[in-house]
Structure 1
Amino acid sequence: MTTNKEKILIYNDRKKCIEEEVVFGDAFVRFLYQNPIGALVTPLIAGNHLISKAYGLLKASASSTRQIDPFCKKFGLNMDEFEKVTYENFNDFFIRRFKDGARPFNQDAKILPAPCEARYTFYSKSHKKLRLFVKGASLCPREVLGDEVSQAFEGGPVAVARLAPVDYHRFHFPDDGTVEKQYPIHGKLNSVNPLASFRMRNIFCENERRVSILDTRNFGKIAYVEVGALCVGRIVQTHTSKNFTRGDEKGYFLFGGSTVILFGTPGSWSWRKEFLSQNAEGREVLIQLGRPLSE
């Protein structure tokens, strides 16, 4: 069990330094997952769709705009990077868009760019015994994708990208290509907050997922999985065409911490050694949208 002094350290790719993550809802999550009384309440809250929807309604209310300025100050958000608009509620702010050019996508055909702005964990090869970890939660590829689909990606690279509430919550296509098929996987909703993950197991199968199989120009087949967490409940797909180009918006998450998982086929690309080294030392890597993931 973690203590109240537990720190979450991440590696910032842009700044090339290690820093401590400021966790949204820190005190409340610690109560739910680290306090004996909170432990009794957690099973009643975790996975409760009514609570998730009620929380979503609060974030969609006009009064929720009062939370925007304190949120920006606490997490040091640079709002100059985003489009200048008037937000009608916190959810509207949460799905804010970057200004054109604020996050250019790497255009090298041999390089896989980051499809979302998040904290990444990389795995060189997928296999049946692999456990995908997000701060203590684990799941095997078969449980993420299903038996039939997971076999096609066995031996290929995998990345788990955790989006914290402070992050840009739109996700994008990493290459040109076509959507081969999409399917949802429904389940309980639970937090992807790293403090919560220390106490919860099989966090992905407790969440709602949407799987897309992409046929890309430069990297072959990619399995692109979106995971919605507690207080989100909705994964919104904004791209309706079968065809897409590198950097096109694919969709967004409503309020809460969420996750994107990428699976590649064997030999399709290799993750940057710098990132694998940071992961080996127990740190996720904070990577901006569009920056290189592979080498």
Structure 2
Amino acid sequence: MVKFYNRETKEYETEQIAGDTYLNWTYSSPVGMRLLELIIKKKLFSKLYGYYCDSKRSQKKIASFIKNFNIDMSHSEKSLERFESFNDFFTRKLVKAARPINNILETLISPGDGRLLAYENIDLNKLVQVKGYTYSLNKLIDEPNIVSKFSEGTCLILRLCPTDYHRFHFIDNGTCEDSKKIKGDYYSVNPIALKKVPELFCKNKREWSIFHSNNFGDVLHIEVGATCVGSIIQTYTPGNTIKKGDEKGYFKFGGSTTILFFQKGKVKIDDDIIEQTNKGYETKILMGEKIGEKKY
């Protein structure tokens, strides 16, 4: 059972997990963990499932998924009958009114939907994966000259569930460099898995880039894949001028994670998010929503 904080209602809620029985069994039983290491974490497993989710045969999954997880289709640009595959539905674009962008220049917005953890004054060698479990930023991207820029800065971990909107966006005006790919495994990024697999973020497939933000300095943007995420798709053009809220890319089927690193003294994260993180709870966030502000 995974609980998170809803900042709108100011109450804790229990997350609906797609495939929760399978997930608990896999990461909690000896047989499940053996299958995880032999098959499930491998690229081929996720790739084969990705082929299925890209096929027309997967259309039949869409209606039940919408019903079981109470997906609000009034937010979708496409109607149900227009989706050609499950991944077509999963990576759906939303109407602009569904995710309004806070365009105040000094305001930091969330890059996507999901559950957010925020850490300030970070130790680059002891980044928090989940309470009690840490990893090193050097292991995450292995670029010491870049990593050193973010010492004592701020780290945001945005975890996307399969039920979330799966496109991710830029948090400010600016320009972004090329995205670099790092091969890896395909563990789940659910907190159940994060407690079982040490340094999971450093083991999974991931991509990273440096975003030169107009208001928040250089930002390290990392996308982490997960079980059944066949692809991380970047849709931006490196070097082009970017506007706050512009799309950066999207994840195909599965839960995934976006991690942002900010330099010291550039941002102040909203107090309620920091408070919930310190208590060990993620905060539910929508793309475009205010999560912090520029620090002077």
State whether TM-score is above 0.5: yes
Map 1:1-295 → 2, pairs under 5 A? 7-85=1-79, 86-134=82-130, 138-146=134-142, 147-242=144-239, 243-295=241-293
Alpha carbons of 1:90 and 1:138: their partners in 2 closer, same or farther (altered >3 Å)?
farther
Q: CA deviation at 1:16?
A: 2.6
Report the RMSD for the aligned CA atoms in angstroms.
1.5
SS at match of 1:229: coil
Q: May I ask how many residue pairs the two structures share in their alignment?
A: 289
List runs of 5+ in structure 1 lacking aligned partners: 1-6
**Whole-angstrom CA distance in 2 between matches of 1:182 and 1:290:** 22
**Whole-angstrom CA distance in 1 between matches of 2:243 and 2:156:** 21
Flag as ranges the 4+ runs of structure 1 deviating above 6 A. none
Q: Mean alpha-carbon deviation: is it higher for 166-175 or for 71-80?
A: 71-80
Q: Is the 8 A contact 1:192 1:229 kept in 2?
A: yes
Q: CA deviation at 1:241?
A: 4.5
Matched-pair identity in %: 38
Q: Is the 8 A contact 2:157 2:259 kept in 1?
A: yes
Q: CA deviation at 1:136?
A: 6.4
List runs of 5+ in structure 2 lacking aligned partners: none
Q: CA deviation at 1:180?
A: 3.5
**Whole-angstrom CA distance in 1 between matches of 2:217 and 2:38:** 43
Q: Mean alpha-carbon deviation: is it higher for 102-111 or for 41-50?
A: 41-50
Alpha carbons of 1:136 and 1:163: their partners in 2 closer, same or farther (altered >3 Å)?
farther
Cα shift readout 1:86-134 (whole Å, capped 9, x = no counterpart)? 1011000000111122111111111110011111110012223322224
**Whole-angstrom CA distance in 2 between matches of 1:78 and 1:262:** 28
**Whole-angstrom CA distance in 1 between matches of 2:5 and 2:175:** 33
Q: CA deviation at 1:198?
A: 2.5
Q: Is the 8 A contact 2:178 2:238 kept in 1?
A: no
Q: CA deviation at 1:236?
A: 0.3
**Whole-angstrom CA distance in 2 between matches of 1:216 and 1:69:** 40
SS at match of 1:59: helix
**Whole-angstrom CA distance in 1 between matches of 2:268 and 2:51:** 42
